[in-house]
A and B are shown apart, each in its own frame.
Chain A
């Protein structure tokens, strides 16, 4: 089943196309990564899919229906925004109490456990929380809501390493016990890459990649060795990045079946390319393409 489907979805802000002709599909019950540089359109896409803003053109189906003004869809959707605003004087306690009434599958016990784990001062005014504590409020909401469709927009902001690990482990454990569709937007790609099953990369409002994470993790290899040997090996290949120092070179290229074996046979060192590095290469390569 498909949780989300968009066709030619487009959103203009004045003359800027923040989302430009995006046709995507997100399968149900999986963890999807929504990646891209700042300003690539990730937040705009999530706002469109949760009915917070209106599309300029195009179509979308969320849980089989249009999300616009649709309580049936929205009750099953939880959107944790990076810059969520709360009413003045609200404390985490108040937010969680309201959330309990909003989300049919809310788990109060999990919420209590998370508050303790994140050491969130639940009776302090939200205005006085640190950036990391504010992120923790969102994470607790997102996890304890158990919404069939959950969006996390940069949930890591301001979180220390311990809290990031907490989020990852709780998300993984809760997802395993209560499978649902999760769309995770983050710049900390390396930290979540083993959790993602499907990856969408947005670049300037367009879909640069929509692919299985496993495929991407093996999509490129890094070969290094003597410069002339690296050059000979990569001639005609789809090279993403080349670095040279003296008589040595390191080249990142798209892997083809048998590439690893052939590179080793040619006496080159072969290393895997992490999802994060692959995304970086794909993004900068795309940005450089029109100039070349």
Chain B
């Protein structure tokens, strides 16, 4: 369920980010608590908490004392902007590399 190739807390953070981007967690609504995430993902609560804190540090989530973590207003746009920057590195570069392996010329893409 989690991306094993990354540190666990980053995979947790990215999963919450995905939820924000696809509308599972609308802005100004709460995300699951540390313990809920830990039980659901079967990971240590400290790791789950680290993932949530990473998002709080990035301004994607905001802590409300005694209530939990909420999605910041504008979080989806913030994430979209950041992920667009990563898009080329994560998807386009490997795509071009594989194309080169296969002898596909990007200028004359196959049908």
Contacts and interface: CB of A to CB of B under 8 A. Distances in A.
6 contacts: A169-B42, A172-B38, A172-B42, A173-B39, A194-B43, A214-B47
B15 interface: no
A163 interface: no
Given A176-B35, A177-B35, A194-B47, A218 B42 contact: no
A76 interface: no
B35 A194 contact: no
Given A172-B38, A177-B35, A217-B7, 14 more contacts: A168-B42, A172-B39, A172-B45, A175-B45, A176-B39, A194-B42, A194-B43, A194-B47, A195-B43, A195-B44, A214-B7, A218-B7, A264-B94, A267-B97
> Which range contains the number of B residues in contact with the other chain?
10 to 19
Q: Which of B35, B44, B45 has the most CB of A within 10 A?
A: B44
Contact of A214 (B4, B8, B39, B41): B8
A252 to B, nearest CB: 15
Say whether chain B's binding surface is mostly helix, strand, loop, or mixed.
helix
Contacts of A264: 94
B46 interface: yes
Interface residues of A, number: 22
Contacts of A172: 38-39, 42, 44-45
A169 B39 contact: yes
A189 to B, nearest CB: 14
Interface string B18-53: 000000000000000011001101111111000000
B70 interface: no
A195 B8 CA distance: 11
Nearest to B9: A214
Contacts of A175: 45
A128 B94 CA distance: 60
Contact of B38 (A176, A218, A271): A176
Contacts, number: 46
B77 to A, nearest CB: 29
Interface of B: 4-5, 7-9, 34-35, 38-39, 41-47, 94, 97
Interface string A265-289: 0010011101000000000000000
A264 B43 CA distance: 29
A141 interface: no
Nearest to B42: A194
A31 B42 contact: no
Interface in A153-184: 168-169, 172-173, 175-177
Contacts of B7: 214, 217-218
A238 interface: no
B5 A197 contact: no
B5 A30 contact: no
A176 B37 CA distance: 11
B46 A30 contact: yes
Contacts of B4: 272, 274
A276 B44 CA distance: 17
A132 to B, nearest CB: 21
Contacts of A176: 34-35, 38-39, 45
